[in-house]
Structure 1
Amino acid sequence: MRTIQAICTYLTHLSVLRLGSCKALQDWGLLGLREPSEEPALGPQLYSEQEHQASDPEEPFLKPQGPSLLMLQALQELDLTACSKLTDASLAKVLQFPQLRQLSLSLLPALTDNGLVAVARGCPSLEHLSLSHCSCLSDDDWAQAAGSWLRLQHLNLSSCSQLTEQTLDTNSQVCKQLQVLDVAMCPGINVVAVRHFQAQLPQVTCEGLT
């Protein structure tokens, strides 16, 4: 996406970037790779290798062929809500902003536990985090991710259908600065579990109890 390339080239001191509902935004755009339509210029074998690496967040970071989101190291706020074509492949490799305070990854159906853990490592200073409607997230690696977010104050987990009270227990033990928690429409988290959580962190306002 040429718009992203232009932003990353000429606005490197940008502190706020809101790309919510940019449904055309794909992994290659964030990674600074050439778009798939340019495959002949790369050669079929080279492009196939790059595509394979980009699909796996555990693979070494691909060398960008153009401007990538990593150039915006002054970011304080990033909104990728409903950029539904993004996956772990780009999020895990590009979201490396130690100073980032606010991040929205809501409505990203392909975000998994592995991607979330990588994002947590790359963005340890988050204070506001929205993950609503990320249906692939589960309790399995939440403790590992939450361990990086000691400054977290606002957390939106609404409609994360696989999360249970185990995630609440983790948050109560790790996220001591939490002030607002939204667990609306989380079928695995009931009112009793939320009340227990509030007893441990009485300063937290919990939304979605009805």
Structure 2
Amino acid sequence: MPTVPNDLSRRGPRHFEFPRRLTTLPRIAGTILVATVLAFSGCKRHSTQTQSEPAKEKEKAAEPAHAPSVKADREKKSAERIVYAVWYDVPINSLAKRRAGKDELTAAHNRLPLGTMVRVTHIANGKSVIVRITDRGITDRHSTIDLCKEAAKQLDMLGEGSARVRIEVLPDDKVPNAVPNSKATTAQP
């Protein structure tokens, strides 16, 4: 008995490609839609309502002038911290010694700007020294500040090797005998 050709056998391989094209089209459209939304989400719409100058002045007048600012509180918190300190013997001809003044004590800190004056207070005995940050590269992962040997001697931490200290960043006007733009803060060849 002769067989009737099946309708599916005539379609061949194109029958299976057609539905696959239908599924990739929504994926492409969805990808384009998401990319467009992300691109336009970064755009800022300009406000149509502008505030007049007298209204701005009223807002400024309504704020209390004597209230401490949030920025000042943050600076105070970041300027005084309790950390671990270690000491190292700074060679006399090193760059760190040349950056400091003649009788200044030096320290290394990875984040404070070079030339910053810091008061370091030993937590256990209450002794304190003022040091200038002249170096980087603290290798001990548990310590935050490396003090020169002379500063460690004044804090009585030579035998300990490391100690908990309070560091307080000093503004230029609170540093005794400090000259902000002295030649001692720059390296000499």
Mark yes or no: TM-score above 0.5.
no
TM-score normalised over the length of structure 1: 0.21
TM-score normalised over the length of structure 2: 0.23
Between 1 and 2, higher relative CO (CA 8 Å, sep ≥ 6) is seen in 2
Structure number with larger C-alpha Rg: 2
